[in-house]
Amino acid sequence: MGDFVLSFEEADKRKLNLVGGKVSGLGELLKAGFPVPPGFAVTSVAYREFIRYNSLTEKIDELLSPIIESPDNYTLLEEVSSRIRNLIEKSEIPEVIKDEVLSAYFRLGEISGISDPGVAVRSSATAEDMDDASFAGQHDTYLNVRGGEEVIDKVRRCWASLFTPRVILYRIRHGIDHSEAQMGVAVQKMVKSEKSGVMFTIHPTSGRRDVVVVEAVWGLGEGLVSGICTPDSHVINKITHDVEERRISSKEIMVVYDEEKMDNVTVEVPENMKAIPCLSDEELSELVRIAREIEKYYGTPQDIEWAIDGTLKFPHNVFILQSRPETVWSKKDRGPVIGRKSGYDLIMDMALKTFKIPKR
Amino acid sequence: MNGKFPRPLEIEIPENLKDWEEMYPPHYIFSKDRESWENRQFWFLDKIHAPDPMYPFDLIFHEAWQIALSQYTTRVFCIPPAQGVAQRIAGCYFYICAIEPPSEETIARKAELFQKRAFHVFQNYKRENYYEKWEKNFRALGEEIKNIEVPDLPTFEPEERVLPVPRGYYSSYDLMEAYNRIIDGIFKAWQYHFQYLNLSYLAYLTFADTVRKLFPSISESVIGKMVAGAYVVMFRPEEELAKLARLAISLGGNVRDILTSDRTPEEKLEELSNFPEGREWIHAFEEARDPWFYVSVGSGWFHYEGSWINTLEVPFSYIKNYIERIEKGERVERDLETIDSEREKLVREYMDLIKNEEDRKTFEDSYNICRDIYDYAENHLFWVEHWFHTIVFEKMREFGRLFTRYGMLENEDDIFLFNRFEIPMIIEDLVTSWALGENIPARSEYWKRKAEKRKDILEKARAWNPPPALGTVPEEIAEPFTVMLWGITSEKVSEWIKGVTYTAEDVTEIKGFAASGGVVEGRARVIRFLDEITELEEGEILVCPNTNPSWAPVFTRIKAAVTDIGGLTSHAAIVSREYGLPSVTGTGIATQVIKTGDIIRVDGDQGTVVILERSG
Is beta strand B519-526 parallel, antiparallel or unpaired with respect to B599-603?
Answer: antiparallel
Nearest CA in chain A to B77: A351
CA distance A271 to B61: 57
Give the residue extent of every domain in chain A.
5-189, 193-331
Cβ separation B202–A351 shorter than 8 A: yes
Together in a domain, B476 and B512: no
Question: What are the Cα distances from residue B539, in Å, to B543, B553, B557, B585?
Answer: 13, 13, 6, 19
> For an interface test with B, which of A280, A354, A360 has the most B Cβ atoms less than 10 Å from its Cβ?
A354
Find the distance separating the first CA and the last CA of chain A, reported in whole Å: 83
Together in a domain, B532 and B586: yes
In this structure, the number of other CB atoms found within 10 A of the CB of residue A239 comes to 20
Together in a domain, B16 and B95: yes
Residue B596 DSSP label: T
**A3, A19 contact by CB (below 8 A):** no
How many Å lie between the alpha carbon of A317 and the closest alpha carbon of chain B? 24
Q: A253, exposed or middle or buried, with CB in 10 Å at 0-12, 13-18, 19+? A: middle
Domain-embedded: residue B538: yes
Q: B120, exposed or middle or buried, with CB in 10 Å at 0-12, 13-18, 19+? A: exposed
Chunk chain B into consecutive blocks of 10 residues (it has 616) and report each block's average pLDDT, rounded to whole numbers.
75 95 97 94 81 94 95 92 91 89 89 94 95 97 98 96 96 98 98 94 90 84 78 81 94 90 93 95 96 88 90 88 89 80 91 91 95 89 95 98 97 97 98 96 97 96 88 68 63 62 69 81 86 82 78 79 74 74 85 90 88 84
CA distance B226 to B211: 10
Find the distance separating the first CA and the last CA of chain B, reported in whole Å: 29
CATH 3.30.70.1140 fits domain A5-189: no
For B188, half-sphere exposure in the C-beta direction (CA atoms, 13 angstrom radius) is 16
In this structure, the number of other CB atoms found within 10 A of the CB of residue B2 comes to 6
Domain-embedded: residue B264: yes
Question: What are the Cα distances from residue B235, in Å, to A272, B239, B388, B555?
Answer: 46, 6, 16, 15
Together in a domain, B472 and B510: no
Q: Which CATH number fits domain A193-331: 3.30.70.100, 3.40.50.10800, 3.30.470.20, 3.90.180.10?
A: 3.30.470.20
The verdict on A336 touching B (C-beta cutoff 8 Å) is yes
Together in a domain, B475 and B531: no
Contacts of A237 in chain B (CB under 8 A): 218-219, 222
Domain-embedded: residue B445: no
Among candidate residues B434, B452, B481, the one where a domain is terminated: B481
Give kind and range of the element (H or E) at residue A108.
helix A95-112
Q: B105, exposed or middle or buried, with CB in 10 Å at 0-12, 13-18, 19+? A: exposed
pLDDT tens-digit series, residues B472-483: 877 666 566 666
Domain-embedded: residue B18: yes
What is the domain extent for residue B63?
A: 8-109+467-481
Query: Would you call the peptide bond into A315 cis, given omega within 30 degrees of 0 as the criterion?
Result: yes
Query: Would you call the peptide bond into B164 cis, given omega within 30 degrees of 0 as the criterion?
Result: yes
The verdict on A205 touching B (C-beta cutoff 8 Å) is no
Among candidate residues B327, B357, B392, the one where a domain is terminated: B327
The residue type found at B104 is: E
CA distance A291 to A302: 8
Query: Would you call the peptide bond into B166 cis, given omega within 30 degrees of 0 as the criterion?
Result: no
Cβ separation A208–B119 shorter than 8 A: no
CA distance A200 to A225: 13
Domain-embedded: residue B212: no
Which residue in B177, B180, B186 sits closest to B66, CA to CA? Answer: B186
Together in a domain, B506 and B540: yes
Question: What are the Cα distances from residue B460, in Å, to B410, B411, B454?
Answer: 21, 20, 10
> For an interface test with A, which of B476, B513, B584 has the most A Cβ atoms less than 10 Å from its Cβ?
B476
What percent of chain B has a predicted confidence (pLDDT) above 90? Answer: 59
Cβ separation A346–B365 shorter than 8 A: yes
The verdict on B342 touching A (C-beta cutoff 8 Å) is no
Together in a domain, B509 and B566: yes
Nearest CA in chain B to A346: B206
Cβ separation A356–B225 shorter than 8 A: no
For B467, half-sphere exposure in the C-beta direction (CA atoms, 13 angstrom radius) is 24
In this structure, the number of other CB atoms found within 10 A of the CB of residue A333 comes to 4
Strands annotated E in A167-281:
183-189, 193-200, 211-218, 232-237, 243-247, 253-258, 263-268
Q: Show Cβ contacts of residue B453 under 8 Å, excluding neighbours closer than 6 positions.
A: B19
Contacts of A353 in chain B (CB under 8 A): 81, 478
How many Å lie between the alpha carbon of A354 and the closest alpha carbon of chain B? 6
What CATH number has the domain bearing residue B607? Answer: 3.50.30.10
CA distance A215 to A251: 12
CB pairs under 8 A between A and B: 146
> For an interface test with A, which of B103, B213, B350, B486 has the most A Cβ atoms less than 10 Å from its Cβ?
B350
CB interface of B with A, residues 78-117, below 8 Å: 79-82, 98, 100-101, 107, 111, 114-115
CB interface of B with A, residues 457-486, below 8 Å: 472-479, 482
The string over A78-99, giving b where at least 16 C-beta atoms fall within 10 Å of a residue's C-beta and e elsewhere, is eebbeebbebbeebebeeebbe
Choose the closest CB to B362 out of A210, A340, A354. Answer: A340
Number of domains in chain B: 3
Residue B147, pLDDT score: 98
Among candidate residues B301, B327, B353, the one where a domain is terminated: B327
Asked if domains A5-189 and A193-331 share a fold, the reply is no
Q: B75, exposed or middle or buried, with CB in 10 Å at 0-12, 13-18, 19+? A: exposed
Instruction: Find residue B426's DSSP bridge partners.
Output: none
Cβ separation B362–A346 shorter than 8 A: yes
Residue B510 DSSP label: E
Q: Report the Cα B147 to chain-centroid distance in Å.
A: 24
The verdict on A357 touching B (C-beta cutoff 8 Å) is yes
**A239, B346 contact by CB (below 8 A):** yes
Walk along chain A (360 residues) and give the pLDDT tens digit of each residue. 578 999 988 887 788 888 887 888 888 899 889 999 999 999 999 999 999 999 999 999 899 888 887 877 888 888 999 999 999 999 999 999 999 999 999 999 998 888 889 998 988 877 644 544 344 445 577 888 889 999 999 999 999 988 888 888 878 877 888 888 888 899 999 888 899 999 999 887 777 889 999 999 999 888 777 667 788 889 998 888 878 788 888 888 898 888 788 778 889 999 999 888 999 988 999 999 999 999 999 888 998 999 999 888 888 899 998 888 887 777 666 688 888 999 889 998 888 876 454 333
